[in-house]
Amino acid sequence: MMGSYMYHETNMEYEYEPEVPHYNSTQASQKNDVPQDLSDNRSNHIKTISKVYANVLATKPSSFYEYESFSLFYDEIDDYSLFKKLGSGKYSIVFEAVHHVRDEKVVIKMLKPVKRKKIKREIKILEGLKGGPNIVKLLAVVQIPKDLTALIFEEMVNNEDFKTVYLKLSEEDTQYYLYQLLRALDYCHSNGIMHRDVKPHNLIIDRENRQIRLIDWGLAEFYHPGQEYNVRVASRYFKGPELLVDYNYYDYSLDMWGFGCVFASMLFRREPFFHGSNNQDQLVRIVKVLGSNELNAYLKKYNITLDDQYLQLLGHHSRKSWQRFVNTESEHLVDTAAFDLLESCLKIDHMERISAKEALAHQYFAKVRRRANVEGPSATCTLNDMKTP
């Protein structure tokens, strides 16, 4: 039942953030990713600052976001017994376990050796988001032999991998679970945190209890305005255009691109919606839908230079209508409001994308908000929950 906690880690598209401070375009070109000379003009890129929650960390104590000097507190490892191995990936092994004292089933994610600061960052972020809506709950951290670290997570009772069901949901459930995902994103953004790996593999769902959790915060990072961030984050099919053109000054809007890709797959029953064979081809697939004019305007606006070979590969494409992707299987899911929200998410220009907070108030979710008001404060989702800290 709990295999989804590790599914994303065995996914071939997953890319872990390297230890280098910036994207190594030479290595990428050798792997058929971004061309070697793509970022020659990086120092001349126009810097942007998030239009929402830009300075939220300035209102918090440094202890909230400084993780390199963070001291870990470990729970007693003897309090846990493993039931079974659920799976393993490149960076962890996942088990179902029980905590004897609390008689509570949990999920244990044993981290394989990575730099200590990476582990500290993930733990620091999970602790900072504890209690947030629809965010997987970190219960404890334990140290195991050979100086390895394990993270203890809550177990959802009727857990399913979102990826196995998200293309089969009704219109009502599609709206409901997307709304819940936005609540998680707005909460983490309002606390100065970017997830940087939003995709179906990183969502688990309990349809019986109508719950969803955003998991795997291993690539998440604190947002400091004007800071350069590594572009080797997110999985290929969900990479924002800013990553694919080596633009380092991205922000929370990267998560909204990932959300938009999930939304598009659900609306059109097409998985993944942008299906590139490598990082170069991924941008080609995006441009074939959104059009060359939008990309060219983006490159010019932020002074981003692509090499001639990459530009030739991208070619010239006209903008496609969203209606073009509707089929008999998905026509009941789409309407004007759905198209409008999707358009607001999938903007090549990251500064033009809708924020999670704005998306929560979008007309597409009017039924979800009305239902929450009718059900009252005991409902899973209420309007009060939309308020950010």
Return per-residue pLDDT of the chain as tens, 389 residues.
Answer: 333 333 333 333 333 443 333 333 333 333 334 333 444 467 799 999 999 999 999 999 999 999 998 998 999 999 999 988 877 766 788 899 999 899 999 999 999 888 889 999 999 999 999 999 999 999 999 998 878 899 999 987 777 878 889 999 999 999 999 999 999 999 999 999 999 999 999 999 999 999 999 999 999 999 999 999 999 999 999 999 999 999 999 999 999 999 999 999 999 999 999 999 999 999 999 999 999 999 999 999 999 999 999 999 999 999 999 999 999 999 999 999 999 999 999 999 999 999 999 999 999 999 999 998 866 544 444 334 433 33
CA distances from 321 to 238, 283, 289, 340 (A): 20, 18, 8, 12
Classify residue 266: in a domain, yes or no.
yes
Active site residue 161: no
Classify residue 180: in a domain, yes or no.
yes
Q: In the numeric block, which tokens belong to residue 214?
A: 């955003």
Q: Return the CATH number at 354.
A: 1.10.510.10
Does 367 carry a binding-site annotation? no
Q: In the numeric block, which tokens belong to residue 19?
A: 């230890």
Q: Which of 197, 216, 255, 385 is catalytic?
A: 197
Which residue range forms the structural domain that includes residue 260? Answer: 160-386
Query: According to the model, what pLDDT value does residue 205 have?
Result: 94
- Specify which residues 86 forms β-bridges with: none
Confirm if 96 and 113 have CB atoms less than 8 A apart: no
Report the residue count for the chain.
Answer: 389
Classify residue 134: in a domain, yes or no.
no
Query: According to the model, what pLDDT value does residue 336 have?
Result: 97
Classify residue 23: in a domain, yes or no.
no
Query: According to the model, what pLDDT value does residue 52 have?
Result: 98
Query: According to the model, what pLDDT value does residue 11 have?
Result: 36
Looking up tokens 């719950």 gives: 211
Query: According to the model, what pLDDT value does residue 115 have?
Result: 85
CA distances from 112 to 18, 91, 126 (A): 15, 5, 18
Query: According to the model, what pLDDT value does residue 313 have?
Result: 96
Residue 337 CB neighbours (<10 A): 14
Classify residue 245: in a domain, yes or no.
yes
Classify residue 381: in a domain, yes or no.
yes
Domain count, the chain: 1
Of 346, 182, 364, the C-alpha closest to 254 is 346
Classify residue 96: in a domain, yes or no.
no
The set of residues, in sequence order, having a beta carbon less than 8 Å from that of 315 and lying 6+ positions away, is 284, 287, 292
* Gap between the Cα atoms of 384 and 389, Å rounded: 11
CA distances from 49 to 195, 225, 358 (A): 17, 5, 17
Residue 210 buriedness (CB in 10 A; 0-12 / 13-18 / 19+): middle
* Gap between the Cα atoms of 387 and 389, Å rounded: 7
* Gap between the Cα atoms of 100 and 123, Å rounded: 23
Classify residue 210: in a domain, yes or no.
yes
Residue 322 buriedness (CB in 10 A; 0-12 / 13-18 / 19+): middle
In DSSP notation, 225-244 reads TT----S--S-GGG--HHHH
* Gap between the Cα atoms of 145 and 182, Å rounded: 39
* Gap between the Cα atoms of 20 and 41, Å rounded: 19
* Gap between the Cα atoms of 308 and 127, Å rounded: 46
Confirm if 380 and 176 have CB atoms less than 8 A apart: no
Query: According to the model, what pLDDT value does residue 335 have?
Result: 97
Q: What share of the chain is helix, strand, coil (3-state, %, to 5)?
A: 40, 15, 45
pLDDT digits (tens, 9 = 90+) for 78-133: 999 998 887 776 678 889 999 989 999 999 999 988 888 999 999 999 999 999 99
Confirm if 90 and 140 have CB atoms less than 8 A apart: no
Confirm if 199 and 9 have CB atoms less than 8 A apart: no
